[in-house]
Structure 1
Amino acid sequence: MNLKDKTLLITGIDEFVGLRTAELAIAQGMKVRGLKSSTEQNKQLQNLGVEIIIGSITDSTIAQKACQGVDIVLHTDQLAEEAGAIKNFRDVNVGGTVNMAKAAKQAGVKTFVHLSSVMVYGFNYPNGVTESGPLSGENNPYCETKIEAETAVLELNNPPDFGIIVIRAGDVYGPGSIPWIVRPVLMMRQKLFACANDGKGVINHVYIDNLIDGIFLAIEKETYGEIFNITDGQETSWKEYFMRLAAMEGLSAPLSLPKDEIKLFLKLRVQGQKLFRKKVDILPESIDFMTRPYACSIVKAQSMLNYKPTIHLEEGMQRTHEWLQKTDIQSLIK
């Protein structure tokens, strides 16, 4: 499929992945429509001239309206938190995904890309885990509902009329990344950040533009019914990643503490924030997300899509540093 002049609908267009995808899609000659739940105006989207529809992915009327006259849907909208009530996650991550996919199918959309996550493998998977798994919900609502969403949406795959592609994104970093850039930097500035278990294990980082390259390749090649891990394909330890982040910002190297100690500290911090009616900024469960031991395999994406991550960690960090220097990141924490 030639992407030029195609109309792309992006759900969650005002979030990190959606916003950057819109920029790169327009640069490739695509027309972009965006669905977002927030009524707040976004200057970047206004400057891009994107057509915006405001509403929820769980609303079938809104979903049908958004999908009319669209060639491709990139579904990025999700509830991405470390913990919480499973019902809330299911409503958005499963119900919202299926609602959007059914609306797209009914509207005659050809391609539906579901943005999933390597978190479907859980916290303790085999080294070089491939798309065939094993999958593990870990009794975590985010992991569980991302697995459920993949299963549900792939049942609607019916090429050539309607094709589903699932992208399991790694830990997406770059300008605008809340979990892997903004939160760690803010905590480092307050001298509250520590690596768990000496930062052993591997971060499956993927620079935002590399992820979008992978998504566009999968659409161009019409790989319907397929699932792809998309990461930078580098084995970077958590310690190295966070040491680079601190050094880049001229901050002290993070301390290392046992995982259980950090979780206890965060638990007490959350209780204190709730007591003083402050917004809870980081949950103890986030440490489980930051102690995964191995790298995921991207061999399938490399062989089937000819995917080659072009922006390596050094350049990705430099681009992120330039963005951090001109951005008030505190304002990005909702």
Structure 2
Amino acid sequence: MNLKNKTLLITDIDEFIGLRTAELAIAQGMKVRGLHSTEQDKKAHDLGIDVIVGNITDPTTAKKACQGVDIVLHTAQIAQEAGSINDFREINVGGSINMAKAAKDAGVKTFVHLSSVMVYGFDYPDGVTESGPISGDNNPYCQTKIEAETALLELNASPDFGIIIIRAGDIYGPGSIPWIVRPIHMMRQKLFAYANDGKGVINHVYIDNLIDGIFLAIEKEPYGEIFNITDGQETSWKEYFMRLAAMESLPAPLSLPKDEIKLFLRLRVQGQKLFRKKVDILPESIDFMTRPYACSIAKAQSLLNFKPTIDLEEGMQRTHEWLQETDIQKLLQ
């Protein structure tokens, strides 16, 4: 599919993935429409994007958003580390199915679903491929991303309506809350530590590399397929967090046993709730930061000709420049 002059609907347009995708799509000559659950963000407005306000679980909103659209990029989700499984299912599964059905009914050609390598759980084989194994690991995020993938692939009806699943790695770059904003915020407060000597691998993917992979998938139309998209680098958790600290000229973080960090965070959460402050990081987040191995991107390299162009050093430099101009405290409110 030639992307020029195609109309792309992006759900969660005002979040950092959606907004950056919109910027790069417009630069490629695409028309962009957005769907978001709250009032239009100034950044989307400045880009001239028509934003529809509504919930992805509402059939009327979904129908309206999908009219006249060629491609849907579905990024909306609950991406917390823990919470009620019913809340996760309502958005991550129910909302995804609702958007896909509306897209199919509206004659949309391509539906790209942003999933996650978290469908492999917290303990998977080295070089895990799209064939698995997958595991919910009793985590509502992991479990509902698996359920959404299964339900969406049942709607694939190539060539008239094609579903493509993108299992994104740990997305970092300007605007990334879990992998940039939160750790930097805690490092500045001298509250950050990484677990278990930083062993294991972060499956990082710079935001622009991810979007390149998404655009390649749209162009090549591999309907019914699933792709891991990461930077393809085996970076240890220790190296990543050390780089993050050095980037901001902050002291090198300490390493503590995983259980000690989780206990500290449980106490922190209790204190924040007691004083009616917003909980900024959950104990379960440590599970997300101790995964052991790298995922394989061989399939994306082979079928999509995916080649990550921004390495960790350049990605960190771009992120540093963004941090110099950004009050990250506002992003955590």
TM-score after normalising by structure 1: 0.99
Q: 2:166 matched to which residue of 1? A: 167
The residue matched to 2:13 in structure 1 has which SS? coil
Runs of 5+ unmatched residues, structure 1: none
C-alpha deviation, 1:205, in angstroms: 0.1
1:172-183 mapped onto 2 (5 Å cutoff): 172-183=171-182
Distance 1:51 1:113 in 2: 20
Task: Work out the number of aligned pairs and report it.
Answer: 333
Distance 1:286 1:65 in 2: 36
1:43-58 mapped onto 2 (5 Å cutoff): 43-58=42-57
Q: 2:35 matched to which residue of 1? A: 35
Q: 1:191 matched to which residue of 2? A: 190
Q: 1:329 matched to which residue of 2? A: 328
Distance 2:252 2:199 in 1: 15
Question: Are 2:127 and 1:128 aligned?
Answer: yes
The residue matched to 1:260 in structure 2 has which SS? helix
1:97-176 mapped onto 2 (5 Å cutoff): 97-176=96-175
Distance 2:319 2:154 in 1: 38
Q: 1:17 matched to which residue of 2? A: 17
The residue matched to 2:57 in structure 1 has which SS? coil
Distance 1:264 1:332 in 2: 25
1:1-334 mapped onto 2 (5 Å cutoff): 1-39=1-39, 41-334=40-333
State the one-letter code of the partner of 2:231: D
The residue matched to 2:98 in structure 1 has which SS? helix
RMSD, aligned CA: 0.5
C-alpha deviation, 1:43, in angstroms: 2.0
Distance 1:26 1:124 in 2: 39
Flag as ranges the 4+ runs of structure 1 deviating above 2 A. Answer: none
* Percent identity for Structure 1 against Structure 2: 83
Per-residue CA deviation, residues 249-287 of structure 1 (Å, 9 max, x unaligned), is 000000000000000000011111111111111000000
Distance 2:201 2:329 in 1: 27
State the one-letter code of the partner of 1:2: N
Runs of 5+ unmatched residues, structure 2: none
Per-residue CA deviation, residues 9-29 of structure 1 (Å, 9 max, x unaligned), is 000000011000000000000
The residue matched to 2:166 in structure 1 has which SS? strand
Distance 1:234 1:180 in 2: 16
Distance 1:279 1:181 in 2: 19
State the one-letter code of the partner of 1:256: S
The residue matched to 1:311 in structure 2 has which SS? coil
State the one-letter code of the partner of 1:20: R
State the one-letter code of the partner of 2:328: I
The residue matched to 1:81 in structure 2 has which SS? coil
Distance 1:223 1:300 in 2: 11
Distance 1:125 1:309 in 2: 23
State the one-letter code of the partner of 1:191: K
Distance 1:327 1:278 in 2: 22
Distance 1:48 1:322 in 2: 21
TM-score after normalising by structure 2: 1.00
The residue matched to 2:241 in structure 1 has which SS? helix
C-alpha deviation, 1:46, in angstroms: 1.2
